[in-house]
Structure 1
Amino acid sequence: MSDLLERLRGRGWRLTAQRRVVAEVLDGEHVHLTADEVHARAVGRLPEISRATVYNTLGELVCIGEVLEVATDGRAKRYDPNAHHAHQHLICSGCGAIRDVHPLGDPLAALPEAERFGFTVSGAEITYRGLCPQCTNRP
């Protein structure tokens, strides 16, 4: 479970009713919703929330580093609240489902010095792709 609401309160981020609802919708484990999915769920909790408010709130959360934006091969961007928990992503090439994974080892160590081309490497994003069980079993 992500601790998004707790982190936002700790930062003193002004939690209006709309912002709180967006954060509540995003809170959880393996949450990778599109902006439209966030809006649809938010409307269920706060019917008057606008699509623009959801998009603006997501943009703010990404800018302040509390939510990650995950882009997947031409599909809609998804929003991941687990910005402060080291993880990689496993993406289904069929339906686009995303799961957080925690591979063993340091991905930075896997990049040899000769392949760094003088860069001071500060991070690595690894994306695993494959078919989920539902897509594997489709006729």
Structure 2
Amino acid sequence: MSDLLGRLRRRGWRMTAQRRVVAEVLDGDHVHLTADEVLARATARLPEVSRATVYNTLGELVALGEVTEVSTDGRARRYDPNAHRPHHHLVCSGCGTIRDVHPVGDPLADLPASERFGFTVSGAEVVYRGLCPHCAPA
């Protein structure tokens, strides 16, 4: 599980019922939900949560650095609660499913100095693409 709820508690984040349900919906491994998916799951748990509250809460969590936005191939932005655990993403080219992956090696070390063009490189985002078992031809 991601430790999103624990991180928010340690920060002293004001935990209203509506904000809490948004954080609970996001908490977990391999969670990459769109804002509409967060809204649907949150309202299933707490019907009075509003679209504005969900969107505002997601924006605040991103601004705090507790959740990252993941965008692939022009699809809807997704929200990843594993903001403090280095990882890459494996994306299904068919259905858009996203999984967190932790390959060995350092992608920064794989970029030769001649390809850095004087940049001081501080990070790398690697996206692996393929077909998940449900989309792959039988």
Q: Which category of TM-score, normalised to the shorter sequence, fits these structures?
A: over 0.9
Query: What TM-score, normalized to structure 1?
Result: 0.97
State the SS of the aligned residue for 2:24: helix
Q: Which residue of 2 aligns with 1:114?
A: 114
Q: C-alpha separation between the residues in 1 aligned to 2:66 and 2:97?
A: 21
Structure 1 residue runs of 5 or longer lacking an equivalent are none
* Residue deviations 1:57-78 (CA, integer Å, cap 9, x gap): 0011001100010001111100
Query: How far does residue 137 in structure 1 lie from its aligned partner after superposition?
Result: 3.1
Q: Which residue of 1 aligns with 2:4?
A: 4
State the SS of the aligned residue for 2:55: helix
Equivalent AA in structure 2 for residue 130 of structure 1: G
Q: Which residue of 1 aligns with 2:32?
A: 32
* Residue deviations 1:15-74 (CA, integer Å, cap 9, x gap): 111111000000011000000000000001110100111011001100110001000111
Paired residues for 1:1-139 under 5 Å: 1-137=1-137
Equivalent AA in structure 1 for residue 73 of structure 2: D
Query: What TM-score, normalized to structure 2?
Result: 0.98
The count of aligned residue pairs is 138
Structure 2 residue runs of 5 or longer lacking an equivalent are none
State the SS of the aligned residue for 1:55: helix
Structure 1 outlier segments of 4+, above 3 Å: none
Q: C-alpha separation between the residues in 1 aligned to 2:123 and 2:19?
A: 29
